[in-house]
Structure formats: C-alpha cells, structure tokens
Structure 1
Amino acid sequence: MTTAPTPALLQVSGLRKTYRTGGTEVVAVDDLSFTLRPGAALGIVGESGSGKTTTARMLVGLERPDAGRILVQGEPPADSVRGRAARLARAKAVQIVFQDPYLSLDARIGIGATIDSVLRLHGLRDPAARAARVRELLSQVGLGDREAAALPRHLSGGQRQRAAIARALAVEPAVLVLDEAVSALDVSVQAQVLNLLSDIRRDTGIGLVLVSHDLAVVRYVCDEALVMYRGRTLEHRPVAELLAEPRDPYTRLLLASVPRPGWDPDSIGSRRRSLDPKNLPG
C-alpha cells in the first residue's frame, strides 16, 4: 500500500499585493511562491520596504492578496474572517508573533489570564484543564508562576516575547510566523529566544516562518532563506548555500551588513550607495 505524502504546512504560489498611495500603485509583493514542510523553518529576509512584513500579514489573514494562493495543510484558509468560526479556524492554523509583544498581550491583565482567555475562546471549558495548560505553556517558554501573575509592563522584553510565543502556541497552530520577533531584544536575550524557538520546533513539529532583516538571526534558526527586494524574490535556497555563495549583489550586501570582527558600517553605506540599481529587480 502506498502511503499518501504528508501535505505541506504552507504552500504559497503567485502571491501579489498592491497598494494605492496618492493615486500611484505600489507593488508590495510580486509573484511570491514557497513551500513550508512540517517541522521546517523558512527565513524571509529583506530591508524595510522589501515586502516581507506584508507577506507575513497575508499569511495570517491580516491582509488579503490581490492574486495568488495560500494553502494551509493542503486547504485554502477561510476567504472571509467575518464570522467567529472562520476567525478561530484561521487562528488555529497560523499564528503570528510581532516585534512588539504589546500588540498581542493585554496590558490590563496578567500573562496567565491572557493565555487562559485564549484557551477559553478556543473551546477549553474546564477551568482546571485550562490552568494546567497555562502552566504547561509557560513552562515550555521558560516562565513560571511569578510571570503568570505579572502584568506585561512588569516583565522584561525577553519575558514579554516569551509570553507572546506561549500565547501563540496556546491554539496549537500548524505554522508560527515571527515578524521581527527578536529584533528589539539584546543579543543575549535574542539567543535565548532563538534557542527556545529551535526547541519548540524540534519538540512539536511546528513550521516556522521567520521574517527578519538580519541574516545572522535567520542562520541561527532556519533551514532555508528567501531574500526579498521590492516585493520580489531574489534568491531562495538552503541557508548554508545562500550564506556561503550569495548569488545576487543585494544578498551579498545584506550578508556584509552582519556585524563581525573588523566590521566597518561606513563601508557598508558606501557599498549600498555604489550598488547599481539596474542590477537589482524592481
């Protein structure tokens, strides 16, 4: 008997998104395609204006593409999120963690109560079961009872981001999208959160889409990297290959911008100005 192949967690094909600004059409994402397998991690890399955050917002339904298709575990997500059931189904499939955890944490209530409300919203009615699940989720991200009782403003930036990850994991999504989720953290805290994400991915099989301007962060977590510039894909390859032999001048510029011993930021600015725009798409 032939076993049917496991469907991809995400299949994105021909995705396009435009905006109108002052009567001018701006293409934010243009013909973007990729596949995310179970347990895989994809880094979407680019500077501000590259289209990576618009892509993240389309994946979770905060923006609707003008063209193209998104399949989650082989099925199209609900076209409309007007109904409660459709919103919950979409959230169950794909969750997002933002750069600023205040966007997903209620500043007025404790972290544990925030996660409890998510569990209750998604149908876990038994209070004892919810309390046990809250403790389990917080433990999974390295937080305990003290943090569960604390308001977001009483936690450090790293603790708040861990809490935001726990909240996203509460619905057991197939895919976790992280939009610059560690860029505001100190380097040592970044490493802690990235290690946490690697552990969660290993233990649960969740797929990760890591949106970042920082190739060093992508290298730490991801299997593949997709480099965007002005909404278009310049390169999409395994991370090790892309970092060892970047093919596009823009990718080489991003790689040169990663701090290392002897790094000179002034030289990066000079190279950016001298990079011929005719060599770049868009």
Structure 2
Amino acid sequence: MTALLEVTDLRKTYGGTTAVDGVSFTLPPGGALGLVGESGSGKTTTARMLVGLERPDSGSITVLGQPLGAQVRGRAARLARAKAIQIVFQDPYLSLDARLTIGATLDGVLRLHGQGDRVARAARIRELLGQVGLGDREAAALPRHLSGGQRQRAAIARALAVEPAVLVLDEAVSALDVSVQAQVLNVLTDIRREAGIGLVFVSHDLAVVRYVCDEALVLLRGRPVEHRPMEELLDNPDHDYTRLLLDSVPHPGWDPESIARRRRAA
C-alpha cells in the first residue's frame, strides 16, 4: 500500500541556526501523526516545508509516491501541489478573506480547481460545510461575524475543498476554548474516518495530540528525540523531554516551578 506521505531526513537552517535536522516519518492512508514540541522545537518549520512555504536545505517529501519539488513552477504544478497537501493555520484569518463570505471563499477555491458549474459548486459547498458542522447561515456570513470555532471549521472546509491526500494542522485548536477544541477535534476525527485523509497534527499539547493521532514524533531544538505509537509514548516515554512535556500538563500535585527548572535544563 502506497504511503500518503513520506518524509526523509529534512533539514532547514536559518543563517547559523539549525531549525530542523533529520526529521523523517511515513504517514499511511488514513494515518494521523502528531508533531510535538514547545516553541522553537522545529515543528512549525517542518509543517511549512511539507506544504511548500519553506524550502528544505536537504531531504525529501513524497506524497502518494510523487516527490514534491522544492520549487513549484506554473499554475498546473501549483494546483497539483495544493491538491496533494493542504494546511490549516492556528489563525483562520490567514486563510479566510475577510472581505468574502464563507460561501464565496469556498466557491473561489472550487472555481480555481475547475470543479463544476455554479449549481454543482453550490451543492459541493453545502456538502463541505455540512462535513464541519456549518450550514447556510455560516455560508452567508463574513469571517468576522463567526465565532473562533466556526471560523476554524470554515478554514478546515476550505482546505478540504480540493480533496487533499494530506491535511496539515498547525496548532489549529490551540487558540480555542476547551469545549470548542473538542468540537473541532471531533470534526477532524470524523473526516479522517470517512474520507481516509491523512493528518499531520502540529501541537505543543500532548492531550490534544492523544485525542487525534495514532503516533507522535517529539522534536527538541529541531531534532527528533522520540517517535512511537501514541499510547506507548504516553504510558512509557523514553526521553526526558517527552516526560517533561507530559509533566507540563496541569494535574494534581503539579509544580510549575519545578517544570520551569527542568525546561531550562532541557
């Protein structure tokens, strides 16, 4: 079975600083991988390389057996890459045009990718919004008239409009209230199950990653330190940094000062 996504030995530097070094993983059809680490761990730089927003210094990225080139030239190549892999950012305003209704935004994506006439596109827009728990009212609304959770679900619908093989979510629920986080995570779980889409879930929050992902890759200062099935990693972590991340989640007897000291020493 062809992997949805294969990443081999990605490396990225900025001046004399190494942001990512030696990141490798394989995502099977319908799989979900968590890229985990705190700020500066390299997880967002990795995500940006996956979707072509950053160019790796070395390494390779393959989607459905096809290499994604470092440079994408021409309209057809850009559309093909967009169809292969999409990203949802932490802030949906980065992907939603504040001047357009949600329905108009989705219609623009569908027209760009040559999907159907106006009637067919309208039906597809209703289908996409239904997938993420939105309806006609939200379709007619501007982004500023929606809640944070509704905007993020609209951003997910926009990413799904081209039927990508892989969806990258970069801290996509970290700015949401806990109850809204749960709604969005349930949406992602349902879409993964129904559409067979692969997820790369970028987060600092292992509790969130646990809910969505089968496995996790832990990054520390750009380098992988642990890559294991989710339950194994949570129940019996190998690396001190993974244990630090787990201990950073508030719990009875939690000592934030001790966590801060351990973080400085990591």
Q: Deviations over 1:243-276 (max 9, x none)?
A: 0011111110000011234433233213323x3x
Structure-2 residue corresponding to 1:131:
122
Q: Does 1:172 align with 2:163?
A: yes
Q: Is the 8 A contact 2:56 2:70 kept in 1?
A: no
- Structure 1 counterpart SS, 2:67: coil
How far 1:9 moved relative to its partner? 0.4
Name the CA distance, whole Å, in 2 between partners of 1:176 and 1:107.
23
Q: Identical aligned pairs, as a percentage?
A: 79
Q: Does 1:7 align with 2:2?
A: yes
Q: 1:93 aligns with which of 65, 84, 99?
A: 84
Q: Deviations over 1:37-90 (max 9, x none)?
A: 000000000011111000000000111111011110111024422311111010
Structure-1 residue corresponding to 2:12:
17
Name the CA distance, whole Å, in 2 between partners of 1:262 and 1:193.
30
How far 1:106 moved relative to its partner? 0.4
| Amino acid of the structure 2 residue aligned with 1:172 | E
Residues 219-234 of structure 1: matches in 2 within 5 Å?
Answer: 219-234=210-225
- Structure 2 counterpart SS, 1:108: coil
Name the CA distance, whole Å, in 1 between partners of 2:97 and 2:57.
32
Name the CA distance, whole Å, in 2 between partners of 1:12 and 1:247.
23
Q: Does 1:188 align with 2:179?
A: yes
Q: Is the 8 A contact 2:167 2:200 kept in 1?
A: yes
Which 5+ residue runs of structure 1 have no aligned equivalent?
1-5, 278-282
Q: Aligned-pair RMSD on alpha carbons?
A: 1.0
| Amino acid of the structure 2 residue aligned with 1:224 | E
| Amino acid of the structure 2 residue aligned with 1:76 | P
Name the CA distance, whole Å, in 2 between partners of 1:227 and 1:193.
23
Give the TM-score normalised by structure 2: 0.98
How far 1:124 moved relative to its partner? 1.4
Name the CA distance, whole Å, in 1 between partners of 2:71 and 2:9.
20
Residues 1-282 of structure 1: matches in 2 within 5 Å?
Answer: 6-20=1-15, 25-273=16-264, 275=265, 277=266
Q: Is the 8 A contact 1:78 1:86 kept in 2?
A: no
Q: Is the 8 A contact 1:105 1:164 kept in 2?
A: yes
Q: Is the 8 A contact 2:219 2:226 kept in 1?
A: yes
Q: Is the 8 A contact 2:168 2:201 kept in 1?
A: yes
Q: Deviations over 1:116-167 (max 9, x none)?
A: 0000000114000000000000000000000000000000000000000000
Q: Is the 8 A contact 2:19 2:222 kept in 1?
A: yes
Name the CA distance, whole Å, in 1 between partners of 2:48 and 2:194.
26
Name the CA distance, whole Å, in 2 between partners of 1:10 and 1:215.
22
Name the CA distance, whole Å, in 1 between partners of 2:124 and 2:157.
11
Q: Deviations over 1:153-206 (max 9, x none)?
A: 000000000000000000000000000000000011001101110010000000
Q: Is the 8 A contact 1:80 1:86 kept in 2?
A: no
Q: Is the 8 A contact 1:52 1:231 kept in 2?
A: yes
How far 1:31 moved relative to its partner? 1.0
Q: Is the 8 A contact 1:257 1:265 kept in 2?
A: yes
Q: Is the 8 A contact 1:32 1:233 kept in 2?
A: yes
Bigger-Rg structure (1/2): 1
Which 5+ residue runs of structure 2 have no aligned equivalent?
none
Name the CA distance, whole Å, in 2 between partners of 1:94 and 1:125.
21
Name the CA distance, whole Å, in 1 between partners of 2:125 and 2:252.
43
